[in-house]
Amino acid sequence: MEKNKEFFVAEILKWYEKNKEFYPWRSENDPFKILLSEILLRKTDRKKVAILYPQISEYIGSPIKIVNTDLKKLEEFLKPLGLYKERARQLKQAAEFILNQFNGRIPENLNDLLKIPGVGRYTANAVLCFAHKKRVPLIDANLIRILKRYFNLTSNKSRERDDRLFWEFISDIIPPDHTKEFYYGILDFSNQICRAKNPKCSNCPLNSYCSYYKINSENFNKKILIKK
Ligand code: SF4
């Protein structure tokens, strides 16, 4: 791997080790609970899911528990997360499908995972990575933003997350022994440092090789001088 890519991966892992955020699903080994948390995390603040997680795990933490829960009760239970009607219906369908088609077990291959109602490519790959420890690309807006800034990548696709450029690029750099930590690192790094607005470039451990920082460093230095 090129030096710049090696540096990027090593620094993300190092940064994550010191600055990781703790969420209960990150230490989870049960593939169904990992799938469930991925579904609930869509369009939802992670902190809200974290607060409800102990109850989620206990009361609806398996396909059979969801199937046996009345739809209205499930909706009530999911209300604090928003989109509760849609989510409750989706969880019911997914749980029934998993029970009927896979005997309650979460498949370990992409094709079967994609058959589960409500499971798209990102969620399927998240399950493969976080539950089954597979080295797969996990492309979302945060990762794309960081890659574009750091490596100066550009995409002309209207839906950037489908651009082969990012899939191939990330497939090349995912660290085989720390895939999970790398993606959680990217998530937390994008939340704390390389934010969509006002990235903290001056305090960023990647800034010595970051293209965005190089291009904008004159402006950053001016801002620092003005503050002084
Ligand atoms: Fe993101 Fe700025 Fe760090 Fe580059 S230097 S990776 S743009 S925070």
* Whether the predicted pLDDT of 158 surpasses 80: yes
- Locate the ligand 1 atom nearest the alpha carbon of residue 204 and give its number: 3
* Whether the predicted pLDDT of 194 surpasses 90: yes
Q: pTM (2 decimals)? A: 0.91
What's the mean pLDDT in 150-166? 94
190 in contact with ligand 1, CB cutoff 6 A? no
What's the mean pLDDT in 44-49? 94
- Could you give the CA distance from residue 98 to residue 64 in angstroms, rounded to a whole number? 9
Q: pLDDT at position 226, please?
A: 59
Q: Which of 106-110, 166-170, 215-219 has the lowest mean pLDDT?
A: 215-219
222 CB neighbour count, 10 Å cutoff? 10
What's the mean pLDDT in 173-181? 95
CA distances to 59, 80, 99, 120 from 53, rounded to whole Å, are 10, 12, 22, 22
| Rg of the chain over all Cα atoms, to the nearest angstrom | 20
201 in contact with ligand 1, CB cutoff 6 A? yes
Q: pLDDT at position 2, please?
A: 86
147 in contact with ligand 1, CB cutoff 6 A? no
